[in-house]
């Protein structure tokens, strides 16, 4: 089954056509910079551009960087506040004429990892943490998605949300060393473990590419592994979500 997956992030919108039987991208991954305004109009235009790039007709899965319930954006996250209350699926469908399934981007990345990557064949309660502009999180019980865990939004110290202190964007903004930043991220991991006690934590995003530089500084009382699918996970997971929606 071949489906177009789109992953909308804070800095880039990525897409590819996916073979869901094999769990592989069957076209080169295409990237479009996320518009600086991050408004509904600007992002919707880029989603349409992505569909046209692949000359694609069919169902589409899309990962979106904030809380989505039944296709509706419930929080602005790192986007424009104009998204709040909008039916994101309807916006994209109107622009492209195609049927869309839109879910949280970290949920999508985790769906890929538990079905094709580091969490494949693992039982119990699994958390996927994606490290990027923010800290995304996805939760899965025996491979079934529990949607919209937004652990990065937890207030911390004088920060409105802990991701402002512990995401990759904080490392870059404050010019932190690997060790300095990893100690911050480790605080986040241990708070997460204390509250949720997962059986496995999968860490994705840029950190998974450079795991050896961080792993010695990350100590948490559960199994902790890097994601395997890396920049493919959001695309694969979004396509997988679309398959599940339209095959039932």
Q: What's the pLDDT at 202?
A: 94
- Measured in whole angstroms, the distance separating CA 164 from the mean position of its chain's CA atoms is 17
Q: Answer for the pair 201, 185: CB distance below 8 angstroms, yes or no.
A: no
Q: Answer for the pair 63, 103: CB distance below 8 angstroms, yes or no.
A: yes
- Delineate the domains of the chain, giving CATH numbers in brackets: 2-107+232-246 (3.30.420.40), 120-228 (3.30.420.40)
The model's pLDDT over 13-55, given as tens digits with 9 standing for 90+, comes to: 999 999 999 999 999 999 999 999 999 999 999 999 999 999 9
Here the tokens at position 50 are: 């992505």
Work out the mean pLDDT of the chain and round it to a whole number: 93
The model's pLDDT over 126-184, given as tens digits with 9 standing for 90+, comes to: 999 989 888 989 999 998 899 888 899 899 999 999 999 999 989 999 999 989 999 99
Query: Distance between terminal CA atoms of the chain?
Result: 14
The model's pLDDT over 51-108, given as tens digits with 9 standing for 90+, comes to: 999 999 999 999 998 899 999 999 888 899 999 999 999 999 999 999 999 999 889 9
Share of the chain above pLDDT 90, in %: 76
How many other C-beta atoms can be found within 10 angstroms of the C-beta atom of residue 176? Answer: 15
Q: Answer for the pair 226, 207: CB distance below 8 angstroms, yes or no.
A: yes
User: Which uninterrupted H or E stretch holds 189?
Assistant: helix 178-196
How many other C-beta atoms can be found within 10 angstroms of the C-beta atom of residue 216? Answer: 10
pLDDT at residue 247 tops 80 = no
Here the tokens at position 3 are: 């489906």
Distance CA 146, CA 141 (A): 7
Q: What's the pLDDT at 40?
A: 97
Here the tokens at position 129 are: 């943490």
Q: What's the pLDDT at 248?
A: 54
Q: What's the pLDDT at 207?
A: 80
Q: What's the pLDDT at 56?
A: 97
Give the global pTM.
Answer: 0.86
């Amino acid at each position: 089954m071949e489906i177009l997956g789109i992953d909308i992030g804070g800095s880039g919108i990525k897409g590819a056509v996916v073979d869901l039987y094999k769990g592989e991208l069957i076209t080169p991954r295409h990237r479009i910079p996320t518009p600086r305004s991050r408004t509904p109009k600007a992002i919707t235009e880029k989603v349409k551009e992505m569909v046209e790039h692949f000359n694609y007709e069919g169902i589409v899965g899309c990962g979106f960087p904030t809380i989505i319930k039944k296709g509706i954006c419930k929080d602005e996250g790192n986007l424009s506040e104009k998204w709040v209350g909008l039916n994101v699926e309807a916006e994209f469908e109107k622009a492209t004429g195609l049927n869309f399934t839109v879910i949280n981007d970290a949920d999508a990345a985790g769906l890929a990892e538990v079905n094709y990557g580091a969490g494949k064949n693992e039982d119990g309660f699994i958390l996927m943490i994606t490290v990027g502009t923010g800290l995304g999180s996805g939760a899965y019980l025996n491979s079934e998605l529990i949607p919209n865990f937004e652990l990065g939004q937890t207030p911390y110290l004088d920060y409105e949300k802990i991701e402002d202190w512990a995401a990759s964007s904080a490392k870059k903004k404050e010019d932190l060393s690997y060790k300095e930043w990893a100690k911050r991220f480790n605080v986040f991991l241990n708070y997460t473990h204390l509250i949720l006690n997962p059986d496995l934590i999968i860490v994705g995003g840029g950190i998974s590419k450079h795991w050896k530089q961080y792993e010695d500084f990350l100590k948490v009382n559960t199994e902790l592994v890097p994601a395997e699918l890396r920049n493919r996970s959001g695309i694969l997971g979004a396509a997988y979500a679309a398959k599940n929606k339209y095959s039932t």
